[in-house]
């Protein structure tokens, strides 16, 4: 009897187009994460450079932005943007677009702090050598400092990207039909026919997240080990 229930639960995952729906939800999750990561890299680079400026006011604003974003949970930001700002101003934004805005705000702050640390880890003589070659400060950052900083930060950037992929599970709470929401819809539709379907559906979602995040984690570890060998 128990074996029959288990088979029924597993069958639900592959019944009809359920598995394809889960894959579609996973693509929504990945798409939100990828777009957010792309914007975060661009804005985070600018923020990291701004945090290195000598102007105390600029540094104070950047630090305040970083701390505010870190203190506030991502779920609160999602509610503020989607239910607060968007609805209050009467702007017609989808849940997915709101999610991208929130994850970009969060990602840019985290990425900016990483890149600031990357800039500081580049040896001082690299700055001096760039100046002696006749490069302006902007050119030195673009052609010399930034590439070295990014190379040092690749493992940390990959780890942040993995965190963003996993945190996108929160977007289902503002109506985005990502993989977890699709899973819940499948479970609710088969609640009486297969009471234990939740175990198999969420187990399948776990495998999907694992298949996406584990290779990234292994890549980060491999790059980190390679960099340590080169610097040894």
CB 174 within 8 A of CB 140: no
> What is the per-residue pLDDT for 6?
58
Say which residues have a Cβ less than 8 Å from residue 35's Cβ, sequence separation at least 6. Answer: 100
pLDDT per residue of the chain (232 residues) written in tens, 0 to 9: 444 555 666 788 888 899 999 999 999 999 999 999 999 999 998 898 888 888 889 999 999 999 999 888 999 999 999 888 877 777 888 889 999 999 999 999 999 988 888 878 777 777 777 777 787 777 887 788 778 777 778 888 899 999 999 999 899 999 898 999 999 999 988 887 777 888 889 999 999 999 999 999 999 888 888 877 766 5
> What is the per-residue pLDDT for 1?
43
Distance, CA of 107 to CA of 116 (rounded, Å):
14
Instruction: Give me the residue spans of the domains in the chain.
Output: 34-175+201-231
Q: How far is CA 119 from the centre of its chain?
A: 22
Distance, CA of 157 to CA of 80 (rounded, Å):
26
Beta-strand runs (E) in the chain: none
Question: What's the burial of 102, exposed, middle or buried (CB within 10 Å: 0-12/13-18/19+)?
Answer: buried
What architecture (CATH level 2) is domain 34-175+201-231?
Answer: Orthogonal Bundle (1.10)
Which of 55, 45, 60 lies closest to 108 in space, CA to CA? Answer: 45
Tokens read off for 98: 């709101």
The count of C-alpha atoms lying within 13 angstroms of the C-alpha of 111, restricted to the half-sphere facing its C-beta, is 26
CA–CA distances in Å: residue 189 to residues 6, 12, 15, 18, 184: 17, 10, 12, 11, 9
Distance, CA of 91 to CA of 126 (rounded, Å):
47
> What is the per-residue pLDDT for 136?
79
DSSP state of 53: S
């Amino acid at each position: 009897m128990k074996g029959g229930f288990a088979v029924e639960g597993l069958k639900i995952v592959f019944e009809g187009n359920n598995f394809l729906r889960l894959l579609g939800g996973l693509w929504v999750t990945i798409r939100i994460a990828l777009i957010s990561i792309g914007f975060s890299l661009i804005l985070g680079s600018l923020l990291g450079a701004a945090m290195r400026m000598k102007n105390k006011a600029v540094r104070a604003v950047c630090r305040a932005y970083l701390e505010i974003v870190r203190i506030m949970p991502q779920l609160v930001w999602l509610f503020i943007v989607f239910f607060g700002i968007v609805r209050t101003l009467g702007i017609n934004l989808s849940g997915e677009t709101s999610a991208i805005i929130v994850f970009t705000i969060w990602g840019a702050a985290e990425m900016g702090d990483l890149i600031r640390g990357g800039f500081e880890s580049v040896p001082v003589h690299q700055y001096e050598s760039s100046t002696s070659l006749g490069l302006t400060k902007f050119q030195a950052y673009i052609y010399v400092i930034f590439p070295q900083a990014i190379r040092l930060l690749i493992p940390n950037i990959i780890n942040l990207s993995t965190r963003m992929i996993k945190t996108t599970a929160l977007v289902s709470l503002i109506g985005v039909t990502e993989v977890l929401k699709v899973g819940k819809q499948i479970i609710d539709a088969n609640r009486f026919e297969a009471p234990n379907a939740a175990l198999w559906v969420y187990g399948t979602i776990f495998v999907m997240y694992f298949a996406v995040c584990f290779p990234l984690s292994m890549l980060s570890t491999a790059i980190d080990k390679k960099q340590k060998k080169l610097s040894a």
